[in-house]
Chains A and B, each alone.
Chain A
């Protein structure tokens, strides 16, 4: 039996055993602490409300956005753009990344192009996507796709390369063909790491979404955020930022939850 307080003390012992309950409370505490500091600073009048609106003003702005500005449909369209681009990236990057990990010719063909595009700053491509695809959904989804696909494919190829050689050789000596080997052994072995790579990529999609929606859009969270800035409505700007943060946090936690469910053998 642990002495009282031992669980809490473990949190500050180097490499101590995990204490999930205490860690959760600490995380919630940190979140609340930021909120309280924000509340105190904003309400004290030390900072101009234009610079730092109070949490209450932000809540009110949120309410206005949902009731008066059809914010739900803005959120819906932003989520749809992110997922369209994310799925388009994943559907191509997963098979291509796996092939790149296994066939030198495919790596030699694609890697220089991928590395070149990977280093281009995505905002710099906005004028191009606008010229090519106009201001419709196509240009926004394409921008997000460019921003994520070229990163994701290298992550997937790395995940595939990290599968132990013994797994592949075991598959071969049990009579698996190349296709069977990729499907039944490689893909299955890399799956947990791949889900993590996809989770990280989904986060990047949100980063580029705001770029796309600020520059050329008449809908979406990014558009509303930018419009609010133009009219100096900083509570609405804060509400927009918090909305993105909450959606990001929720989808990240959802994928982590699924990861624990699907890959119980790792946890």
Chain B
């Protein structure tokens, strides 16, 4: 296998040890390659291990077997190269909106203080929160909190942006707005993104490529090149076009099939 992929997940497996000592396989040996600038969405039945795969890329979980490489370097733990946005609100409540975004730059010693301030305000503006710069986190909505988390992570300038169901806790309207914003942001920034969701519409809307996982232990069921059939610049209108509906139907069928198989096994 060529070593040229930006992210290379090579024969990676994960197992947990249960309290009674038995071994529970969570991820079967699997390999995924991600190109630089690609937006890859992981979908699969709930509890299938897709988040675990992403957390291993982020260095937040160790692998039980196999290795992960980012930009040619082996992943050995979390650092600034792998930015993470969580489902739960992880903005720091003791800081303001701008303070949180500044925190993303706190540990960068490659740039001056003036430059940090400029970058922080740039990302504040990019997520549309300039009027709320001095608000504390408890005074802004859930959607705004996730925008703070995204801006903070982008300000740290990671090589890859890892997003774990970032819009899962939002209402439908906020979710749509953030999806559109994320697409705009991502086009402007050309970031490599791995995005975990269980919302198939969201997956097809955002993805260049969808990886469908099996029920636990996770295997790759399908690897769908969405950008081959759908245009790169998308809006919510795309939800009505036949190509979109076909991909959506295929992915849903795969996941439903997995869930039926799991229920039958129990």
Residues of A within 8 A of B (CB): 164, 166-167, 169-170, 172-177, 180, 184-185, 188-189, 191, 263-266
* B249 interfacial contact with A, CB 8 Å: no
| Cβ of B197 to closest chain A Cβ, rounded Å | 18
Complex Cα–Cα for A169 and B104 (A): 13
- In the complex formed, the residue of B with least CB distance to A185 is B92
Would you give the 0/1 interface string for B49-64, flagging 1 where the beta carbon is closer than 8 Å to chain A? 0000000001010000
Please determine whether B79 and A173 come into contact, CB atoms closer than 8 angstroms.
yes
Does B90 interact with chain A (Cβ within 8 Å)?
Answer: yes
B137 contacts which of A170, A176, A265 (Cβ < 8 Å)? Answer: A265
CB contacts (< 8 Å) of A180 on chain B: these are 106-107
Residue of A164, A175, A188, A191 with highest tally of chain B CB at under 10 A: A175
Contacts A174-B156, A265-B136 known; A169 to B86 CB distance under 8 Å? yes
**Are B108 and A175 touching (Cβ within 8 A)?**
yes
Query: With contacts A173-B79, A174-B152, A266-B138 known, is A167 near B107, CB below 8 A?
Result: no
Residues of chain B within 8 A (CB-CB) of A263 are 94
Cβ contacts A to B, 25 pairs, < 8 Å: A167-B92, A169-B78, A170-B84, A170-B86, A170-B90, A170-B152, A172-B78, A172-B79, A173-B58, A173-B78, A173-B82, A173-B83, A173-B84, A173-B153, A174-B80, A174-B103, A174-B107, A174-B152, A175-B106, A175-B108, A176-B107, A180-B107, A184-B103, A189-B94, A265-B94
Residues of B bordering A, CB below 8 Å: 58, 60, 77-80, 82-84, 86, 88, 90, 92-94, 103-104, 106-108, 136-138, 149, 152-153, 156, 158
Residues of B within 8 A of A172 (CB): 60, 77-79
Q: Please report the C-alpha to C-alpha distance between residue A169 and residue B106 in the assembled complex, in whole angstroms.
A: 15
**Residue on A with the closest CB to B137?**
A265
Please state if B94 and A173 are interface contacts (CB–CB under 8 Å): no
If over half of B's interface residues share one DSSP class (helix, strand or loop), that class is named, otherwise mixed; here it is loop
> Which residues of B are found within 8 Å of A264, using beta-carbon distances?
136
In the complex, what residue of chain A is closest to B100 when comparing beta carbons? A170
The minimal Cβ–Cβ distance linking A2 to chain B, given in whole angstroms, is 25
Whether B107 lies near A266 (C-beta < 8 A) is: no
A173 and B107 contacting across the interface, CB-CB below 8 Å: no
The CA-CA distance from A32 to B108 in the complex, in Å, is: 60
Query: Residues of A contacting B107 with CB < 8 Å?
Result: 174-177, 180
> A residues within 8 A CB of B138?
265-266
- In the complex, which of the residues B58, B79, B90, B153 contacts A167, with contact meaning CB atoms closer than 8 Å? B90
CA distance in complex: A5, B59 (Å): 59
Which chain B residue lies CB-closest to A264? B136
Q: Let me know if B106 and A166 touch, CB within 8 A.
A: no
On whether the beta carbons of B80 and A166 are closer than 8 Å, the reply is no
**In the complex the two chains form, what is the Cα distance from A173 to B81 in whole Å?**
7
Q: In angstroms, how far is the closest chain B Cβ from the Cβ of A266?
A: 7
Chain A residues with CB under 8 Å of B78's CB are 169, 172-173
Q: Most chain-B Cβ atoms within 10 A of its Cβ — which of A172, A173, A266?
A: A173
**In the complex, A164 Cα to B106 Cα: how many Å?**
20
Contact B90 A164 (CB under 8 A): yes
Chain A residues, Cβ within 8 Å of B77: 172
Closest to B77 in A: A172
Instruction: Determine whether the beta carbon of B93 is less than 8 Å from that of A266.
Output: yes
Smallest CB gap from A262: residue in B? B94
State A266–B137 Cα separation when bound (angstroms).
Answer: 10
Give the residue among B78, B84, B104, B136 with the most A Cβ atoms within 10 A. Answer: B78
